[in-house]
């Protein structure tokens, strides 16, 4: 594994991994097929999704998109007192359970600075039909609980509270408008069987059209390194064996959610839904809690500078 790229705050997680051996669609070169159109953080969480949920099921088995469309993100609640009081975190659950019913809308092109790209995608799913959109919402809910307990003000870009989307450009604007101290977009990959592990996607240096990431490249890298290190430590999952050269870190310049961000932001692909071993983890509520805790602890470490 390449350790040189990691900041000291992340080294502990990687050392533990070595000891045990153990979209917008962010898929791009790493991914595969999308779903068919038809400070320690405590371990409490909201109710998890059912692993057997269909691609159109909401995070708690309900029907997504039942409430009216809203241009605003899921409302923040008053933060508790804690070490992150005064900090703003935006969690961006990738895709939306309702996207599969709105393919025309999500296929429309939006400006991402470097070029134009689809508004959003349906996301992928396990071979048994557990949708990425259900996974990302479940992890986001768990993260929200953990981070609010630390005193952060937490906003979700969507909570299955709109029929589809938001589009990738709007997802970026939500974090920007919130003045977020950190934004993390939650995903799971759809690569080929045998491709395993997680990777964190960092923004490249982009200056084109409406995109200018130069000010956020370095803080986003620090955020990503800390998230990666804590994710390894808490989940025991390995960095990707198919992208990132074993570091678990990948830099991209083709993602609107990163290109249009003016605040520190990263994506995390928590595992590969199309690999049976990774799918067994992603469909486990216990493992999703670990994933949420690892990502959250990385955010806490970044915001506290520890």
Q: Enter the pTM of the model.
A: 0.81
Query: CA-CA distance, 135 to 142, in Å (whole number)?
Result: 11
**Do residues 177 and 258 lie in contact, with contact meaning Cβ atoms separated by under 8 Å?**
no
**Do residues 209 and 125 lie in contact, with contact meaning Cβ atoms separated by under 8 Å?**
no
pLDDT at 131: 98
pLDDT at 26: 56
Q: For residue 129, name the pLDDT band (cuts at 50, 70, 90).
A: very high
With a CB cutoff of 8 Å and minimum separation 6, the contacts of 102 are 163, 164, 165
Please provide the CATH number assigned to the domain covering 8-24+82-304: 3.40.630.40
Q: Poorest-confidence range of 35-39, 159-163, 261-265, 275-279?
A: 35-39
3 state SS of 206: coil
What mean pLDDT, rounded, does the chain reach?
Answer: 83
Q: What's the pLDDT tens digit per position in 95-118? A: 999 999 999 999 999 999 999 999
Q: For residue 72, name the pLDDT band (cuts at 50, 70, 90).
A: low
Number of CB atoms found within 10 A of residue 19's CB: 8
DSSP β-bridge partners for residue 4: none
Percent of the chain topping pLDDT 90: 73
Q: Which residue has the higher pLDDT, 42 or 305?
A: 305
Query: CA-CA distance, 109 to 242, in Å (whole number)?
Result: 29
- Checking if the pLDDT of 227 tops 60, the result is yes
First to last CA, the chain: 23
Q: For residue 76, name the pLDDT band (cuts at 50, 70, 90).
A: low
Q: What's the pLDDT tens digit per position in 160-170? A: 999 999 999 99
DSSP β-bridge partners for residue 6: none
């Amino acid at each position: 594994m390449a350790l040189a790229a990691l900041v000291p705050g992340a080294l502990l997680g990687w050392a533990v991994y070595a000891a045990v051996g153990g979209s917008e669609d962010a898929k791009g070169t790493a991914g595969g097929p999308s779903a068919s159109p038809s400070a320690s953080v405590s371990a409490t969480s909201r109710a998890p999704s059912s692993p057997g949920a269909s691609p159109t099921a909401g995070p708690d088995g309900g029907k997504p998109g039942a409430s009216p469309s809203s241009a605003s993100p899921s409302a923040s609640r008053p933060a508790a007192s804690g070490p992150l009081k005064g900090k703003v975190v935006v969690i961006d659950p990738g895709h939306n359970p309702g996207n599969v019913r709105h393919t025309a809308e999500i296929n429309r092109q939006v400006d991402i600075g470097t070029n134009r790209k689809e508004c959003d995608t349906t996301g992928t799913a396990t071979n048994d039909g557990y949708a990425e959109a259900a996974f990302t919402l479940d992890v986001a809910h768990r993260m929200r609980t953990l981070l609010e307990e630390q005193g952060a003000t937490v906003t979700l870009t969507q909570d299955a509270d709109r029929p589809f989307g938001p589009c990738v450009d709007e997802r970026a604007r939500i974090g920007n408008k919130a003045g977020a101290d950190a934004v993390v977009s939650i995903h799971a990959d759809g690569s080929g069987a045998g491709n395993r592990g997680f990777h964190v996607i960092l923004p490249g240096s982009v200056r084109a059209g409406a995109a200018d990431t130069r000010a956020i490249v370095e803080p986003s890298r620090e955020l990503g390194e800390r998230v990666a290190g804590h994710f390894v430590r808490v989940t025991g999952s390995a960095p990707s064996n198919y992208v990132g050269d074993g570091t678990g870190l990948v830099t991209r310049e083709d993602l609107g959610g990163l290109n249009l961000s003016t605040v520190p932001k990263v994506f995390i692909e928590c595992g590969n839904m199309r690999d049976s071993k990774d799918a067994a983890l992603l469909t486990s509520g216990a493992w999703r809690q670990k994933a949420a805790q690892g990502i959250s602890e990385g955010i806490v470490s970044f915001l506290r500078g520890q």
